[in-house]
Homo-oligomer: A and B are copies of this chain.
């Protein structure tokens, strides 16, 4: 019933489209610093306004990452609440992240080039 973090609507048409294909790599980047679980990732992303998202986004995304072999998971008990599934990078995940960090600056500068004129 409660809208809480799980169901919070994420407004902004342009923002939503901007996140496409980037959220995935932001998650990989966060995981670079160590294993994290779903809700934890939501909080880390949400700390930056424009990256606020919802469980309906993050869990299917994490499933895809796992399906594609970019992350591995292990269950771990929680001090309070249901067990947590922790995600961590595989070598493939590191490689994908590295590839993105190489492309991103070019893309960023390209958009800046067109927008600011």
A contact set with B: CB distance below 8 Å? 12, 14-18, 20-22, 24-26, 29-30, 32-33, 48-51, 96, 99-101, 103-104, 106-108, 110-117
**Which among B22, B30, B32, B101 is the interface contact of A18 at CB below 8 angstroms?**
B22
Copies per assembly: 2
Q: How far is the CA of A111 from the CA of B111 in the complex (A)?
A: 14
The interface residues of chain B lying within 8 Å CB-to-CB of A17 are 20-22, 24
Contact call B113/A48, Cβ cutoff below 8 A: yes
Ranked 9 nearest A-B pairs via Cβ? A17-B21, A20-B20, A26-B114, A29-B114, A48-B110, A50-B106, A50-B110, A50-B107, A18-B107
